[in-house]
Amino acid sequence: VSDGGLLEPGVHRAHGVADDAALVSAMLQVEVAWMRALADGGAASADHLDAVVRAVHGWQPTLDRTEIEDAGNPVLPLVRALRERVDDPDAARLLHAGLTSQDVLDSALMLLAQDATARLLVDLGRTAETLARLADEHRGSMMAGRTLTQYAVPTTFGLKAAQWLVAVLDAADHLEVVRRSLPVQCGGAAGTLSRAADLVADPGAAAAALADGLGLAWPGMPWHTRRAPVTRIGDAVVEILDALGVVAADLVTLGRPEVGEVREGPAPGRGGSSTMPHKQNPVLVTLVHAAALQAPQLGAQLHLCAGQAVDERPPGAWHAEWPALRRLLRLSVATTAQAAELVAGLRVDTEVMARRAHEAADQLLAERGADGTGDPAAYLGATDAFIDAALARFHGGTDGA
């Protein structure tokens, strides 16, 4: 066991996301789809394709770790093992013909991203729904506004939820844009499709067929050294964790016993201490907060590699992308699931909010000056209008990105 799950609490929520089995399966999908593209282009027969489909069917190979290192990536060992399974020698020869390792691995990673982003969108949707409900329900739940840690003017918990909501909607819209253009990689040895051009009349058409077969986009050229498809996934995912991180950071404060305005809901068996029987630790808050502290470095890793993608395919800058991208996908899927559960279970104590706002009324109304009425609830400005704007955005699905 070397999988690190013990040090990533909640990562089981990302079960199947970008793990080794999913990667192998995605790489095999790419090889089969390419064989189909070759068949479409007349380079392979239906029998060749069948032979490869048969060989892949139900196959769950275990790749040798030494071979992966010797190849520098998992594609070569996989292709080699698959060729041995294909019972038609011509089909075995045609398998992978015209592709390079990076075509297979990049495309497979895009498939993993497609899966992960679908899951992210579902959980962001659940979170948005909850937040929209909270924004509406609590439009009258007055609380102290806090700036630079001190009391400022009154606000409402509804507006806070509305702000969280719009951040989630913006991040989801951003992800949706990225998701729609996840590209297939297809360039052959050095991005010229030279070998494919020997096999089929129109290698660009074969690349487009590969994309179609996988549900990805063909951007018209390979992108072996243009890594924006990777960094844009990273940026969008980090933006999600930024948005959820703010929710968690707010709850770190609002759930302190001295504040006690909004707390993580209890769950059986959750949040206990190894030593203190009374403890009810805000576990989901902690884990979401921790994720927001980790995401920026992972996103930076992707950009760093993108700026060093030298030659026709780079030595190292490509390899250094993989663990960061994989980790970002798994971390974000797990965290987004945690966040959806967290907001759904929040305990909002409107009485504490109101009592505090009244006790702090002098400070909360100081801005208004001497003619203040003394009732913080009469000094809520545009809170309702802002909540309405956020809810309209949520219901209309208009893109504010």
* CB 44 within 8 Å of CB 91: yes
Least gap, CB of 232 to a copy of itself (angstroms): 8
Least gap, CB of 80 to a copy of itself (angstroms): 9
Question: Where are the extended beta strands (E) located within 82-220?
Answer: 142-147, 150-156
Q: For residue 285, how many other CB atoms are within 10 A of its CB?
A: 25
Q: DSSP labels for 158-209?
A: HHHHHHHHHHHHHHHHHHHHHHHTPBPP--TTTTS-HHHHHHSS-HHHHHHH
Between 33 and 46, name the residue whose CB sits nearer to a copy of itself.
33
Q: Is 313 a catalytic residue?
A: yes
Between 46 and 396, name the residue whose CB sits nearer to a copy of itself.
396
Least gap, CB of 51 to a copy of itself (angstroms): 19
Least gap, CB of 141 to a copy of itself (angstroms): 14
Among the listed residues 36, 313, 327, 356, the single catalytic one is 313
Between 191 and 213, name the residue whose CB sits nearer to a copy of itself.
191
d(CA 378, CA 364): 11
Between 46 and 153, name the residue whose CB sits nearer to a copy of itself.
153
* CB 285 within 8 Å of CB 10: no
Structure letter (DSSP) for residue 314: -
In the numeric block, which tokens belong to residue 279? Answer: 């403890």
Least gap, CB of 196 to a copy of itself (angstroms): 7
* CB 335 within 8 Å of CB 241: yes
Q: Is 25 a catalytic residue?
A: no
- Are β-strands 150-156 and 262-263 bridged in parallel, bridged antiparallel, or unpaired? unpaired
Cα 265 to chain center, whole Å?
25
Between 10 and 213, name the residue whose CB sits nearer to a copy of itself.
10
Among the listed residues 65, 270, 273, 355, the single catalytic one is 273
Residues annotated as part of the active site: 273, 313
